[in-house]
Structure 1
């Protein structure tokens, strides 16, 4: 759910700051008021979760000096300046310094609310992007996102840690929706380039000439962005849909790779999304480029090969969506668990995310089943099943692990409550938790 953003109101006139605060509070904002710029500066940090509305004429530190101090600490903080009649030139100067916008007295309260809404949305986007960049620079947090206890996921995490320390270029292959871009982020975050630039380009998102210019340049007079090869210099350049590169672009990329030293100044991570059974990334790229990119190689496993990871992911995702929508996560029956395990998941994790969200929404309405979400459009209400059968023992164990895991989560690690609900003796519960790698400490609190 979206965080409630604050609005700091700075004005030396008590009536003015109270009236602004009351109006914005009625509009649903969390406001705080300050009688001076000096007081406000003690409370407004670089990651302040909101915006600032400030008078431009104040005793002591005036609005312009206050604005400059705020911009020096966080140039992305939206600051709306309130000006008096005849102060427009000063307001224009404030915009040049970095103010988000200005309001001239007397102003329409509705206009102020609309401007505050616009500034708040901009601030929320900035803070969300900032948090994402921090998360994507934290290798430990990224590795936690690659959850799963299946052997294929354990190998994937080991490959990321191993290849992350290497300097060679990497080719990442796998089906749509398996998390290849997340793997690319993790490779960068766990390696020696973690603190350097990470630039991601989707080769399929551009027309050929636009892609050539975006990746290789040259920079046009009106461009405010460097070509990707310059922007990523010293760091990691990720090329999604690398199979979409034209012959000309492949030749330029090969030249770039050949011109670099060993180890390369910029690491290239290529992501291939080819799905055709009779065509591979090797078929789509010129041989010399393919072998340079595929010196190190990672294949991200499809969801259908990850066994009980499917139930683990579904449980985690449904709990996240339930919290977001303010309702309980749906209970999964043994039959539904088997259907989740048997589904072919052509859209992989991306599809599982959609199914989990829809399961929460329909559970909130008190209708629908998980099975109904796994139907194909071209089969009349027949559940989708894989062609590869699995031993009954695998389904039973996967469901048993999910059931114990869910019950432990619900009771926050209370062994007595779990024993009572599942009607299991202490020794049996302990043995099963040890068998499935479940630790009571993970559920406390």
Structure 2
């Protein structure tokens, strides 16, 4: 769910503070007011969950000094400065120091609301990116993102932990949408290079000349970054779409790998996204480069092989989207659970994310079914299902596990409430939770 944004209003004039606060509160913002910059600095830390609106002319620490303090603490904090009529040079200086924008007195309240909307949007994006970077540098957090209890996911997590501790180059392959880039982040986060540079380059996103320069240099004096192979020194360089490298760049990459020796100064994690039928990464790369990169190898399993994980993932995703859209998560029937398990998922987890979001939007409107979302886009519009059947017992157990899991989550681990809703005696509920590996402690608020 998107983080609620605050607006800190700093002005020595009480009437001005109150009028700005009241107007923004009517626009739906959570405001807090401060009579001085010194008072505000006690609250406004580097990750303040919002923006600042400050007058420039204040006794004690003025607005410009205040702005410089804020920029020194968090240069990405949006600060909107209020200037007096005709103070254009001061406004220009504030923008140079790092102000997000400025309002000239007397200002239009609608203009202030529009600036607040833009600034809070920028702040939310900044904070979300910071959270993501922290998660991607935390091995424990990122491993939690690899959800599932299926044998193939247990094996994937074991492979990541094992290869994360190794120091050789790694090839990650698998179908599109399976989460190969997430696996690359996990490999880095659980290994000895965690905390060092993690650089990701898409080999398919740049034309050959630009890619050669970005990977190997030389960089021009005005360029703000090192070549990727240097930038990632001591850490990990991830090359997405490795199979898109030309013969020339393959030769250059092999030369760099050979020059590094063992252990490698820069660990290379190559990701193959080949989608052509019957073609593999081994076909696309020169043999000597392929065998250097594939000495350690991880194949990310397709979603259709993950069994009940499909229902677990769908539940988690629909809960996240329901929070984001401010509505209840859709309830999945036994028939819909079977349809989710039977679908071939050519787009894998990426496709499941899309289906979960659309299911939540449908539920909010009170129309549509999960089955309709699983229909093909062919003219006959037949449901897309696998040809591989499963015993009825497996479908029943998968649905039963999902139902107990969802109910436990909704009631935050209250056994009595779950027993009441599902009409189950305590002993039966305990037996089924043990059977499906569900622990009450996982649901406690």
Class of the TM-score when normalised by the shorter of the 2 chains: over 0.9
CA-to-aligned-CA distance 1:47-70 (integer Å, 9 cap, x gap)? 111112222222211222212211
1:169-222: CA deviations, max 9, x gaps?
111000011110110111111111111111111111112212222222222344
Q: What corresponds to 1:303 in structure 2?
A: 303
1:270 aligned residue: 270
Query: What residue in structure 1 maps to residue 236 of structure 2?
Result: 236
Shift of 1:381: 4.0
Instruction: Decide whether aligned partners of structure 1 residues 378 and 110 sit closer, same or farther in structure 2, where only a CA change above 3 A counts.
Output: closer
Q: 1:261 to 1:382 in 2, by over 3 A?
A: same
Matches within 5 A, 1:59-208: 59-85=59-85, 87-208=87-208
RMSD between aligned residues: 1.9
1:241 and 1:196 map into 2 onto residues whose CA distance is 23
- Offset from partner CA, 1:402-429 (integer Å, 9 cap, x none): 1222222233323333334434333232
Cα distance in 2 for partners of 1:294, 1:23 equals 60
Moved more, 192-201 or 405-414: 405-414
- The CA deviation at 1:137 is 1.0
Correspondence for 1:332: 332
Q: Which runs of 5+ in 2 are unaligned?
A: none
Which stretch has the larger CA shift, 221-230 or 186-195? 221-230
Give per-residue Cα distances to partners, 1:206-244, cap 9 Å, x unaligned.
Answer: 122122222222223443333322322221111111111
1:23-34 map, 5 Å: 23-34=23-34
Stretch deviating more after TM superposition (138-147 or 273-282): 273-282
| Residue-pair matches, total | 445
- Residue equivalent to 1:7: 7
In the alignment, what sits opposite 1:428? 428
CA deviations 1:228-270 (Å, max 9, x no partner) are 2232222111111111111122122112211213211111111
Quick check: 250-259 or 415-424, which moved more? 415-424
> Could you tell me how far 1:366 is from its partner in structure 2?
2.4
Q: Which residue of 1 aligns with 2:364?
A: 364
Which deviates more, 184-193 or 52-61?
A: 52-61
Take 1:152 and 1:412, find their aligned partners in 2: how far apart are those partners?
29
Tell me, what secondary structure is at the counterpart of 2:204? helix
**Cα distance between partner residues in 1 of 2:326 and 2:26:** 24
Structure-1 separation of matches of 2:322 and 2:81: 40
TM-score of the superposed pair, with normalisation by structure 2:
0.94
Structure 1 length normalisation: TM-score? Answer: 0.94
**Cα separation, 1, equivalents of 2:270 and 2:195:** 20
Query: For 1:144 and 1:398, how far apart are their aligned partners in 2?
Result: 21
- The runs of 4+ residues in structure 1 deviating greater than 4 Å are none
Q: Distance in 2 between matches of 1:164 and 1:424?
A: 44
* Matched residue, 2:321: 321
Which residue of the partner structure matches residue 227 of structure 2?
227
Deviations 1:9-43 (A, max 9, x none): 22222233233333333333222221111111111
Moved more, 408-417 or 362-371: 408-417
Structure 2 counterparts to residues 247-258 of structure 1, below 5 A: 247-258=247-258
Tell me by how many angstroms 1:105 deviates.
3.1
**Alpha-carbon distance between aligned partners in 2 of 1:371 and 1:85, rounded to the nearest angstrom:** 61
Offset of residue 85 of structure 1: 4.4
8 A contact 2:2–2:324 mirrored in 1: no
Counterparts of 1:414 and 1:118, CA distance in 2: 42
CA offsets per residue over residues 113-160 of structure 1, 9 Å max, x none?
333332222212111111111111111111111011110000000001
